Chains A and B, each alone.
Chain A
């Protein structure tokens, strides 16, 4: 009943700072880390270094994009890492039919896992975290059953996918960039994108406005599964081997971090595509910086923990 004219001017300084951090914190941090490295890290500005960093971050970016859409609907998808492993296993299994068929089979499998999760969430009403947790466990197991140990392959088409360059850029990176543009287009320009954020922002209002809430939810999980499968295929082709035991392990954590740090609130209603990419870059850059300066891997994880907490805390301030 109160007039909620929450004019930004009326906010307290702390809240305003948090809001700014949620909005631009990730860009500022990436910039700061870049500057730091330019000054203090030898060989940082070399092309080879950039190539390596970008190739490493590409699968994380692709997975995070799908997850950002899910989180935009106030959901979560923990199964992305396992889907990567499943895609990897299926590619190797079907490689006998040629690389294109194998890749398509892997993508279909990823979409199917997403459809299962989406159906559980949208039609049965299971909490997203539980539904996708079951998939995380089961799908990883399935991948391991299909391909029990590390299996190398020699299919030239699949290997080129991971090692080829287009216009001087690694193909993997080009694909990640193209998918980023595609997802941004999906969010900004399509009916589905508009509906997605509305469903996440206010489900009751979306239903009253006649939106196909359930269909939107299922689609979002299907996209997430599909993108995770793409990431799995690319990672497999880089590795030149399928390794379902460890491929994509804990990827859900990196992806959630990237999305949250990128400014997409866990409470839904908003998807920040570029922010998500920046979030993934930030973590990659952080890792690289620590390694280059001989600080151990363990630091990355501890710093990452602090960053997640800070990002979610900042998002909370924005809501208050």
Chain B
């Protein structure tokens, strides 16, 4: 081979747009680490403004209370990268809590496996419907949201019955501490690592990105699209179930009034973390930064005191809007260059 295009092309590019590479790098940085940078800035501001903010106690509080959202967000990241969305996670979370508390009377194993089995099965069914019928993921999981909330009410006497956790071992799962952090935090860390490897370092992960990037291309490149889609919703269901079960262990009861609108917080965290809702790009580090950012904002609002906690919703809504607008503008800029 004598001629090569790309060196010539790069030179031509360099002539045409000297700033292109730099712009591209900045865009990349914003897309992937924007949430992390904002998180760092917010923490700095909080530290400067409030003496009680940067204490180990407060940091531990933020991390502990964020861990459940984080676990759900891991699953959602998979779904969103594949180009889908899972609105059912909030319902899954509550249902799992109720089932875990109910199951705890039969011991640790049942308390853990019952919610996982049920939420996993529903995730699997949703995945099958999405992958096989081509119905829009948001409407399928919307039905899932309603269906699971109904199921939760059905098993808890219309929400009137709050089951108490009857297994010490199971409670310990949510409450025991190790090196100053509760077990759910460590479980979250483990899952982030595992999820990261799955997403970045396995064929399955590559396939998830490929489907979200271009489903048509993925089909032509030989990706088993149906299987990957089903698995993604299964993972999301399982993780939402696990988070719900751990939360029940922490609270020692299956509280029925939780989880309404949780899917929104989760999606907000994922999107703020730089995962595109159009699919094909993003990752777990960004999602974790997004989750922590929401936690830090909540904590700051508590510190300020005069503001009600609902201010957090305003901030995260505004943030979400800002992030998607930025993403669109970045996308356009990249297209034009």
B151, A298: Cβ atoms closer than 8 Å: yes
Are A308 and B158 in contact, with the CB atoms below 8 A?
A: no
> CB of B320 within 8 A of chain A?
yes
Contact A145 B324 (CB under 8 A): no
Please tell me if B237 contacts chain A, counting CB pairs below 8 Å: no
Interface size on B, residues (CB 8 A): 49
A96 interfacial contact with B, CB 8 Å:
no
| Shortest CB distance B271–A (Å) | 7
**B277: CB under 8 A from chain A?**
yes
CB neighbours (8 Å) of B139 from chain A are 256, 260, 266, 308-309, 312
Contact indicator A250/B144 (Cβ below 8 Å)? no
How far apart are B214's CB and chain A's nearest CB, in angstroms?
16
Of A124, A129, A131, A301, chain B has the most CB atoms within 10 Å of the CB of A301
Residue among B158, B260, B328 facing the most chain A CB atoms (10 A cut-off): B328
The A contact surface, by secondary structure, is: helix
**Distance in angstroms between the alpha carbons of A302 and B152 in the assembled complex:** 10
Check if B133 sits within 8 Å of A127, measured CB to CB: no
A187: Cβ under 8 A from any B Cβ: no
Residues of B within 8 A of A148 (CB): 308, 310
Given known contacts A134-B317, A137-B268, A144-B310, is B135 in contact with A312 (CB within 8 Å)? Answer: yes
B85 and A302 form a contact (CB under 8 A): no
Tell whether, in the assembled complex, residue B324 and residue A308 are in contact, meaning their CB atoms are under 8 Å apart.
Answer: no
Q: Given A135-B321, A296-B154, A309-B140, verify A125-B310 contact (CB < 8 Å).
A: no
Closest chain A residue to B315, Cβ basis: A141
A137 touching B313, Cβ below 8 Å: yes
Interface size class of A (residues with CB under 8 A): 35 or more
A48 interface residue, CB < 8 Å from B? no
Asked if B307 is an interface residue, CB under 8 A from chain A, the answer is yes
Complexed CA–CA distance, A138 and B271 (Å): 15
The answer to whether A302 and B146 touch (CB under 8 A), given A141-B314, A144-B313, A316-B134, is yes
Question: A256 — which chain B residues lie within 8 A by C-beta?
Answer: 139, 142
How many angstroms between the C-alpha atoms of A184 and B151 in the bound complex?
A: 37
Q: Would you call B321 and A131 a contact (CB within 8 A)? A: yes
Give a binary string over A138-170; 1 marks a CB under 8 Å from any B CB, 0 the rest: 111110110010000000000000000000000
How far does the alpha carbon of A29 sit from the alpha carbon of B152 in the complex, in Å?
Answer: 27
Q: How far is the CA of A55 from the CA of B98 in the complex (A)?
A: 34
Decide: A138 and B317 in contact? CB cutoff 8 A: yes
- In angstroms, Cα B316 to Cα A145, docked, is 14
Of A120, A134, A296, the most chain B CB neighbours within 10 A belong to A134
A136 and B324 in contact, given A305-B146, A312-B135 (Cβ under 8 angstroms): no
Q: How far is the CA of A300 from the CA of B150 in the complex (A)?
A: 7
Please determine whether A253 and B313 come into contact, CB atoms closer than 8 angstroms: no
Could you say which residues of chain A place their CB within 8 Å of the CB of B328?
Answer: 124-126
Contact across chains for A137 and B264 when beta carbons are under 8 A apart: yes
Q: Say whether B321 contacts A138, CB under 8 Å.
A: yes
Q: Which positions 72-117 of chain A face chain B at CB distance < 8 Å?
A: 76, 116
Q: Out of A126, A302, A316, which one reaches B135, CB within 8 Å?
A: A316
28 pairs across A/B with beta carbons < 8 Å?
A: A130-B271, A133-B268, A134-B318, A136-B264, A136-B317, A138-B314, A138-B318, A138-B320, A140-B310, A142-B314, A142-B317, A145-B310, A250-B260, A266-B136, A266-B139, A296-B158, A298-B154, A299-B150, A301-B149, A301-B150, A302-B151, A304-B143, A304-B146, A305-B144, A306-B143, A309-B135, A309-B139, A312-B136
Given contacts A127-B277, A144-B308, 7 further A-B contacts (CB under 8 A): A124-B328, A138-B318, A141-B314, A144-B313, A249-B260, A297-B153, A303-B150
Show the binding face of B for A, using Cβ within 8 Å: 85, 129, 133-136, 138-140, 142-147, 149-154, 158, 260-261, 264-265, 267-268, 271, 277-278, 307-308, 310-318, 320-321, 324-325, 328-329, 332
